[in-house]
Amino acid sequence: METSYDAIVIGSGISGGWAAKELCEKGLKTLVLERGRDIKHIKDYPTATMAPWDFQYRGRVSREYIEKNPLISKAAGFGDDTKHFFIQDADHPYIQEKPFDWIRGYQVGGKSLIWGRACQRWSPYEFTAPERQGYGMNWPINYQDIAPWYSHVEKFVGVCGSRDGLEAMPDGEFLPPFGLNCVETHMRDKIKATYPDRHMVDARWAQITRADEIYLQQGRGKCQARNMCMRGCPFGGYFSSVSSTLPWAEKTGNLTLRPHSVVHSILYNEGTKKASGVRVIDAVSKEEMTFHAKVIFLNASALNSLLILLHSKSSRFPEGLGNEYDLLGRYVAFHNYRSYTSGQLDGFEDKYYYGRNPTEPIIANYRNLGKQTMDFAGGYTIFTGAYRSGFETYEGPQFGPEFKEHMTRPGPWRVYMYMQGETIPKETNRVSLSDSEKDPWGIPLLVTDVGYDDNDDRMVKDFMQESVDMMHAAGCRDISTGDNHQAPGLDIHEMGGCRMGTNPKNSMLNAWNQMHLCKNVFVTDGACMTSTGNQSPSILYMALTARAVSHAVDELNKRNL
């Protein structure tokens, strides 16, 4: 294998796949390093077409497996049908100073194979809310800077949704939505009548609902509404690196993909004041090797990217690459998913719906929009929906022809809401490296010290009250709500630690995701986030990545890198 490239991308997930696509399209010979195994579209989706009865426990994992993997088995979407795309706990230890559930998927494609696929744009307010509401630092970019890159990404990914003209959730380049079912339409109208400022709409999802030419060129087809996305979709109906960006990059002839490559560190050249390459340990043989490049994109997923930077030490940066002001690993944040509300809605028993819709409606953020009006900072998105429960209640014997007949009749309509809340980046919420414990490749273990605060508690309280009130307005009964107090990390939206800003004293990265003190290293995964917003973040990572690659290539052509 060659050891010198124009560009190196560390990580092959959502942002790493986009970095590879954009770099290769622009003619750069690009090496993508992935610590996990190789995955090929369709070929490596072993459960994609299996029925429930094809699994030993109808898709559930055994008690023995859960006992061996108490952390990863809590992840959303985890089951016997998807466990091959998640790590096993014992293989990848870390140290929790406070409870933190670090959910990981180590393979080519990373967590893009198992992500939730929600793709709301940020509003203009999110980029300036931290200073207006007094909880943090503003971004060095605004909505106008990123809007064209959102469009660039949406057109290639395939995002379905409705154009609603909402200031909290701007419109984009959308395919037709799946649409609301009859009860969801009823909920939308009732909530709107009671709360004119609250908008329940089709959310934006990375699902192809119309097979346009750009998707056919990728070898992808229309979503079949199977709702088995996290197994890997043989139709390419949802976006992943494996089905989309990496094969596209490969077609250019400029891509080299190396799985089983655990990144040890980024090497810094004190003479040039730039990174010279990446030190890698082969995950299988433990052989150490070095690859060189003119530009490096770090996309290992937020906490792994922080680990790599913290471990990239030199005489110039003894505390980690570019870490002159003790900012690296600090201001880690996440999304607050602690509360869920559900109820039953009578009527509509003569109605049902077609297919297994892999999307759900959303109630766009209505709190602190543009200015702070609540006793907490930030806002929250609400995911919601309505469905008919499995079968109508039957109190007789759970076997026999009468029971089987009841199982053919759907039960009552159930309604749910759950929150996705913004959390506040704090200096004390941080990750660091262990002084004594190392992983099987000799790299220090990551130490997580991240927790909730009073702002999170007040936001949860508000959601619980408002979601119950909205369900009452919709006509629901038997409503229940609660705070599950789940640990941070289980949201799988860890962000920050290598944030964007205006100078090295307040941030690690500039407005182009470029390290202030090591100009040829770019960080465009969740680690770059200055604040979390309330919207799902992956589409923003992709847009930031495409924008950063454009800038990096321009700088290379000007010989500034």
38-53 pLDDT per residue, tens = 999 999 999 999 999 9
Q: Where are the domains of the chain?
A: 6-10+21-557
pLDDT digits (tens, 9 = 90+) for 407-449: 888 889 999 999 999 999 999 999 999 999 999 999 999 999 9
* pLDDT computed for residue 409 by the predictor: 83
Other C-beta atoms closer than 10 Å to the C-beta of 183 total: 23
Instruction: Name the DSSP class of 535.
Output: S
- Look at residue 187 and tell me whether its pLDDT is greater than 90: yes
User: Please, what is the Cα angle at 215 between 211 and 216, to 5 degrees?
Assistant: 75
- Look at residue 198 and tell me whether its pLDDT is greater than 90: yes
Q: Could you give the percent of the chain with pLDDT greater than 90? A: 95
Query: What's the average model confidence in pLDDT over 488-504?
Result: 98
Question: Rounded to whole angstroms, what are the CA distances from 77 to 73, 115, 490?
Answer: 9, 9, 12
Residue 147's nearest CA partner among 543, 533, 512, 523 is 543
CA distance 265 to 268: 9
pLDDT digits (tens, 9 = 90+) for 384-417: 999 998 777 777 888 899 888 888 888 899 999 9
* pLDDT computed for residue 407 by the predictor: 81
* pLDDT computed for residue 396 by the predictor: 83
Out of 3.50.50.60, 3.40.50.1100, 3.20.20.120, 3.40.1080.10, select the CATH number for domain 6-10+21-557.
3.50.50.60
CA distance 366 to 383: 13
* pLDDT computed for residue 405 by the predictor: 85
pLDDT-derived band of residue 277, with 50, 70 and 90 as boundaries? Answer: very high
* pLDDT computed for residue 169 by the predictor: 96
* pLDDT computed for residue 397 by the predictor: 87
- Please report where in the chains the tokens 């509300």 appear, as a residue: 341
pLDDT-derived band of residue 535, with 50, 70 and 90 as boundaries? Answer: very high
Q: What is the mean pLDDT of the chain?
A: 97
* pLDDT computed for residue 391 by the predictor: 73
Amino acid at 287: E
Question: Rounded to whole angstroms, what are the CA distances from 265 to 189, 262, 308, 544?
Answer: 54, 9, 5, 23
Sign of the CA dihedral with 487 first, then 490, 492, and 493 last: negative
* pLDDT computed for residue 404 by the predictor: 86
Tokens of 319: 């505390």
pLDDT-derived band of residue 151, with 50, 70 and 90 as boundaries? Answer: very high
7 - beta bridge partners?
A: 30, 295
Q: Answer yes or no: pTM beyond 0.85.
A: yes
Instruction: Determine contact, residues 385/202, Cβ cutoff 8 Å.
Output: no
* pLDDT computed for residue 406 by the predictor: 82
